[in-house]
């Protein structure tokens, strides 16, 4: 039975993972992720799954890869510096096409940076996973409820496309509390026949040589097979552009001005939009939910005859999301930006002021 509860974001997204059939978690404590690891340290065993506190993020993601190769729905959660340490294995997982879920509870800036919420890992997860140019599905929910909903179906997508799935929350969403609706428990499918799963061979099954799989194929040499298989992966990525793009259009119907934002920034923008509307200013919000695939066509389709100006809002200095958005917007539409960095939150009052300046 689904149920309504008031929960911290980190705990809620972890509970959704349990209900989605996740039975393996490994993580290393890092602010603002720690409450996720703490929650699963007791909740995962209670649900009959395995919890391991790893010696590092490097180890944590490799444990997740190992568990995925046992046919288990496995996940980890971390924050920017930890995600940096995971990138080699993320690229290996993209290359081997291992399904798993990674939650990145973003903090601010490079290196140690600041431990408060931010959106500064946008480029890092949208351009490529680690080295090698491959990618995975990346989601940027705006609320705890949306994090839950995405988490709940993330392994279905990960297994359908055989890909890592990354869910990008942040310190704000991770630490805050609000009422959410928890979904029912669902059973994980039997994955033991999948080519990326080792062990438990049924009679006569040929051996699985898992991480070597990209070197095999119809071509005469390993290099040719690698090239061939990566081209096949590219077709999968292209199919995402057709089938997996998600976005929200909020009060866009009669909008003359548009805010484009994702995640926490978008949620804050909605407050500003309500206040601006009360003052008779017709503003709407375009919000990408998938960061990979990015809603390129939808941004390209924004009509210059209808929209007089666009304001991007993000929690990152230097800009990242802004640059990506500008790339797809009609060149005749003026695009301004409002961003905060250093772990400072964007504020609805400041968004309001920025929009008014554009009028």
- Binds another protein by CB under 8 A, chosen from 21, 27, 71, 284: 71
Q: What's the min distance (Å) between Cβ of 185 and another protein?
A: 19
Return the range that interacts with another protein (CB under 8 A); candidates 49-57, 131-139, 232-240, 294-302: 49-57
Does residue 301 belong to the site contacting another protein (CB under 8 A)? no
Nearer to another protein, 26 or 169 (CB): 26
CA distance 57 to 31: 13
Nearer to another protein, 83 or 92 (CB): 92
Does residue 212 belong to the site contacting another protein (CB under 8 A)? yes
Return the range that interacts with another protein (CB under 8 A); candidates 151-159, 227-235, 240-248, 267-275: 267-275
- Binds another protein by CB under 8 A, chosen from 48, 111, 199, 280: 199
114 neighbors 85 (Cβ within 8 angstroms)? no
Enumerate residues 6+ apart whose C-beta is below 8 A from 128.
Answer: 91, 134, 135
Token pair recorded at residue 161 = 């496309």
Q: What's the min distance (Å) between Cβ of 112 and another protein?
A: 10
Selection from 185, 92, 80, 68 nearest residue 123 by Cα = 80
- Binds another protein by CB under 8 A, chosen from 168, 343, 354, 355: 343
Nearer to another protein, 5 or 359 (CB): 5
Binding mask 83-102 for another protein (x = CB under 8 A): -----xx--x---x------
Nearer to another protein, 54 or 137 (CB): 54
Q: What's the min distance (Å) between Cβ of 282 and another protein?
A: 18
328 neighbors 310 (Cβ within 8 angstroms)? no
Does residue 109 belong to the site contacting another protein (CB under 8 A)? no
- Binds another protein by CB under 8 A, chosen from 78, 106, 116, 169: 116
Site for another protein in 269-288 (CB under 8 A): 269-272, 274
Nearer to another protein, 138 or 276 (CB): 276
Radius of gyration of the chain (CA): 21
Q: What's the min distance (Å) between Cβ of 348 and another protein?
A: 5
> In this structure, how many other beta carbons lie within 10 angstroms of the beta carbon of residue 258?
27
Element (H, E) at 65: helix 57-68
Spatial strand order in the sheet of 247-250: 247-250, 283-288, 257-261, 309-314, 334-339
CA distance 169 to 186: 23
Selection from 3, 358, 355 nearest residue 179 by Cα = 3
Selection from 65, 119, 71, 72 nearest residue 89 by Cα = 65
- Binds another protein by CB under 8 A, chosen from 349, 356, 357, 359: 349
Nearer to another protein, 196 or 233 (CB): 196
76 neighbors 33 (Cβ within 8 angstroms)? no
Nearer to another protein, 145 or 319 (CB): 145
Does residue 64 belong to the site contacting another protein (CB under 8 A)? yes
Residue/partner pairs of 7-10 with CB below 8 Å, 24 or more apart? 7/144, 7/177, 7/180, 8/35, 8/174, 8/175, 8/176, 8/177, 9/144, 9/147, 9/169, 9/173, 9/174, 9/175, 9/176, 9/177, 10/35, 10/36, 10/39, 10/77, 10/105, 10/169, 10/174, 10/175
Does residue 55 belong to the site contacting another protein (CB under 8 A)? yes
Nearer to another protein, 31 or 319 (CB): 31
Return the C-alpha torsion angle 12, 94, 64, 264, nearest 10.
-20
Interacting residue ranges for another protein, rule: CB under 8 A: 6, 23-24, 26, 31-32, 50, 52, 54-56, 58-60, 62-72, 74, 88-89, 92, 96, 114-116, 171-172, 175-179, 198-201, 207-212, 267-272, 274, 343, 345, 347-350
């Amino acid at each position: 039975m689904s149920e309504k509860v008031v929960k911290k974001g980190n705990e809620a997204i972890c509970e959704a993972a349990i209900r989605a059939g996740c039975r393996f978690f490994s993580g290393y404590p890092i602010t603002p992720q720690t409450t996720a690891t703490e929650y699963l340290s007791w909740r995962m065993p209670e649900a009959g799954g395995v919890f391991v506190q790893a010696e590092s993020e490097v180890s944590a993601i490799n444990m997740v890869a190992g568990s995925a190769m046992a046919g288990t729905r496995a996940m980890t959660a971390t924050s920017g510096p930890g995600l940096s340490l995971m990138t080699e294995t993320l690229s290996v997982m993209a290359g081997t096409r291992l399904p798993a879920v990674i939650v990145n509870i973003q903090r601010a800036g490079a290196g140690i940076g600041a431990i408060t919420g931010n959106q500064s890992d946008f480029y890092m997860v949208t351009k490529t996973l680690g080295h090698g140019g491959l990618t995975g599905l990346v989601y940027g929910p705006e609320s705890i409820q949306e994090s839950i909903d995405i988490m709940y179906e993330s392994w279905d997508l990960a297994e359908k496309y055989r890909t890592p799935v990354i869910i990008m929350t942040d310190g704000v969403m991770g630490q805050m509390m609000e009422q959410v609706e928890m979904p029912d428990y669902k059973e994980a499918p039997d994955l033991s026949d999948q080519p990326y799963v080792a062990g438990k061979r049924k009679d006569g099954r040929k051996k699985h040589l898992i991480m070597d799989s990209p070197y095999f194929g119809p071509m005469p040499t390993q290099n040719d097979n690698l090239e061939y298989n990566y081209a096949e992966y590219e077709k999968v990525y292209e199919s995402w552009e057709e089938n997996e793009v998600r976005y929200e259009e909020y009060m866009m119907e009669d909008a003359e001005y548009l805010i484009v934002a994702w995640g926490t920034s978008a949620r804050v923008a909605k407050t500003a939009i309500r206040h601006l509307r009360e003052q008779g200013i017709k503003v709407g919000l375009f919000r990408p939910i998938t960061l990979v695939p990015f809603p390129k066509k939808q941004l390209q389709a924004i009509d210059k005859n209808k929209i007089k100006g666009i304001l991007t809002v993000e929690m990152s200095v230097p800009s990242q999301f802004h640059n990506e958005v500008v790339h797809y917007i009609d060149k005749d539409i003026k695009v301004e930006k409002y961003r905060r960095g250093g772990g400072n939150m964007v504020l609805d009052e400041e968004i309001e002021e920025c929009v008014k300046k554009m009028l």
